[in-house]
Amino acid sequence: MKYRYWLLVALLFTPALVQAFDNFVVEDIKIEGLQRIALGTAFTYLPLKVGEELTAKKASEAVRALFKTGFFENVSLGREGNVLVIVVEERPSIASIEIFGNEEINTDDLMEALKGIGMAEGRVFNRSLLDQVEQELHRQYFNLGKYGVEIKSTITDLPRNRVDIDIDIEEGDAARIRQINIIGAKHFKDYDLITRFQLSQGTMFSFISGSDKYSKQQLIGDLETLRSFYLDRGYIHFDIESTQVSISPDKRDVYITINIKEGEQFTVKDFDLSGDMVVPKEELRELVLLEPGDVFSRQLLVQSTNKINDRLGVEGYAFANVNAIPKIDDEKKEVSITFFVDPGKRVYVRRINITGNTKTKDEVIRREMRQMEGGWISTPLINRSKIRLQRLGFFDNVNVETPAVPGTTDQVDVNFSVVEGSTGNFSAGIGYGQEGGFLFNTSVTLNNYLGTGKRVKLEVNNDRINKIYSFSYQNPYFTMNEISSGIRLLYRSTDAAQANLSDFYTDVKEGGLNFGIPISEFTRLNFDVSYKDTDLSLGASAPRSYREWVKLVSGEGIDTARFKTYSTEASYSYDSRNRAIFPDRGLYSRIGAEVALPGGDLEYYRLSYQLRFYVPFSDQVSLLLGGEYGYGDGYGEEGTGKAILPFFENFYAGGTRSVRGYKGNTIGPRDAYCPNDDLICANPVRGDPVGGNEKILGRAELYFPVPFTDEPSRNFRLSMFVDTGRLDSNVPFVINDNDFRTTYGVAAVWITPVGALVFNWAWPIDPKEGDEIERFQFNIGAPF
């Protein structure tokens, strides 16, 4: 009868067990108890082979090796003659993991973290890992200020040695900050320091902003803000000696005490530059923002260092190292600063690589490059190349990296990665008025036709105001030196009365050709020649001024006329804006002149000037200051009607594109008519808007992100604005209302996958009697 000697073997043998173990030569090995683990897998981890002598030491090593795999709950060794028998008990596998009650921490992020440490469906269950997960969750919630969090894990056994894991989280409320004390502040009031923190004591707006919810990460950031505040004001020896965070017994209230030592304020004694001056020393000195006698500022010191680095980058020294070393005189409270300049080697660009352009052709991107392959690297040229790509409007995001070429010390590659955006646009405008009813218009624009960078636009408009059929084509690189060209064809039928204007109708057929010539990186000259055929009809309630003008110009009667016009336009523009969509810095200005040439039926000119200046206050906040001026008049023979601007070429104001808060085109001069159809009367009645020959518009708009969000949005922006504008007229038989109209309000722009939404809420300042107010306005556009 066979007999079996069983020995329960632990990870560490006791001396008694080792002494009692008889050595023997292993003739065979059996492993019992395997369910999911393959026999071959178990043998792979076993450090024993048939034919070897089994000793106590080797038995211990075998058990350790099997336990180390994490597959087994228990391992025991036995002997049947000279056959080694290993009995194992597998750990259960995880059938499912469910997490409940978590709001602050995303479930997908938790699952990904669990998977990273080996806890996932199908993996072997290890209780010690679950304990670690619970501890880490507690730590994460404590960092969020939720000290009352309760975490309970439930393990449910299933058939076939499996388990379900349920993690129930009761987050509770975040502890509220009841008091923040700063001890040791002598030169500044506690209130002035605390108001710079993200965290704050409870206020009437805390329920919205959540600023009184304690967070360890935010406290660390606030402490750095406090440190920067003092260092930027000359307190070089400022120190945060300690920080205490106390929690009330019910874990609902937090009290923060910050102990600081301000030290004395230091001023700049002098500064110098040393090292390899590849750029003239005097030129670099002009870049230093600190002057002798100034209060020392770490911020200005860092900015000065960055400016010197940027200047060296222009010369190709991309890896220059500029260190600012302050020498502190504690007795005199002065600082001497030495900028050590190590330009390193001049770096050259080996290759420019472009990735992510799934629709846009490589040549469309490469022609925007200002950094050239083979030339030395220039930081401003790389930045300018990035801005030019952003301004194309083809890409949602543009990133650039300059990794060193492996094995070299003076070469880099410039890698541009782009994310393609919507290169087509289907736009729609919707509005409602008591007289015009619902209005709807559409247009289709391909800004990057077939990935070539060419622009094609087809517009079909069939609302109650206009019937428009137009086609335009623009090639920004008609020649390789950036001379652009384009054509346009247009048919437009307009019922002006439906646009809040006086009663007339026009049918316009127009064709034009344009060219653009670059003068510099930021400036262009543009030329346009066009032919226009206009059929004009006056309605029954058309103003007397319109009828008198038609009679003088055409001699065909006072109701209908036809005009053929040959015109040319020249414009000069400057554009340094950083992006095509949501720019936040740079300047755009344009001055233009349009002239209806002699030989046509009309002789007039129109002058225009536009200005948009974007001032950044931070990465998320910027200010737009803009204005527009227009003036037009006739230059033909006096008394023929050609000496004034045709009324259908007038300027208009009011609406979403000029002065928000006023109904479209309703600001400015009005038709004057007499109640009894008299030609002249003492008190003419104010009629419909007629526009004017002079326009002045102004705008100030502050753009800011959505409040209380951690990350800035690329497709949503809010603003507060002030609009102002006026029109003036030089024609008779009108009430020349040329007073400025001003409004203020808020606006929101949201670029969504199903539409670009623009909303405006505006309130007029000191409106006049008879003004047509429209406080809420919106437009809709849908990209595809």
Q: DSSP assignment of 490-547, as one string? A: EEEEEEGGGGTS-SEEEEEEEEEEEEEEE-SSSEEEEEEEEEEEEEEEE-TT--HHHH
Q: Is the pTM of this model over 0.85?
A: no
For residue 705, what are the CA distances in angstroms to 404, 681, 748?
Answer: 36, 55, 10
Residues 6+ apart with CB under 8 A from 123: 93, 94
Sign (positive or negative) of CA dihedral 570, 576, 580, 583:
negative
339 contacts 324 by C-beta, under 8 angstroms: yes
Strand partners, 252: none
Residue with the two structure tokens 């086609």: 471
Dist. CA 711–CA 693, nearest whole Å: 46
3-class SS letters over 622-661:
EEEEEEEEEEEEECCCCCCCCCCCCHHHCECECCCCCCCC
Question: How many CA atoms within 13 Å lie on the side-chain side of 554?
Answer: 20
SS3 state of residue 310? helix
Sign (positive or negative) of CA dihedral 118, 119, 121, 126:
positive
Low-confidence stretches of the chain (pLDDT beneath 70): 1-21, 202-211, 423-442, 463, 555-558, 675-682, 708-713, 752-756, 780-784
Dist. CA 234–CA 231, nearest whole Å: 5
297 contacts 234 by C-beta, under 8 angstroms: yes
Query: In this predicted structure, what is the pLDDT of residue 553?
Result: 81
Nearest CA-CA partner of 669 in 744, 604, 733: 733
Residue with the two structure tokens 């502040």: 185
Query: In this predicted structure, what is the pLDDT of residue 206?
Result: 53
User: Where is 428: in which H helix or E strand?
Assistant: strand 424-433
Strand partners, 54: 24
Nearest CA-CA partner of 296 in 320, 263, 274, 318: 263
> Cα Rg for the chain, rounded, in angstroms?
39
Phi first, then psi: what are they for 707, rounded to 5°? Answer: -60, 150
Would you state the structure tokens that stand for residue 648, as one six-digit string? 């259908």
Query: In this predicted structure, what is the pLDDT of residue 629?
Result: 97
Nearest CA-CA partner of 725 in 746, 739, 736: 739
Residues 6+ apart with CB under 8 A from 224: none
SS3 state of residue 45? helix
Q: Tens digits of per-residue pLDDT, 217-237?
A: 888 999 999 999 999 999 999
Q: Is 603 exposed, middle or buried (0-12, 13-18, 19+ CB in 10 A)?
A: buried
User: Where is 60: in which H helix or E strand?
Assistant: helix 56-68
CA 32 to chain centre: 62
Q: Where are the alpha helices (DSSP H) in 716-776?
A: none
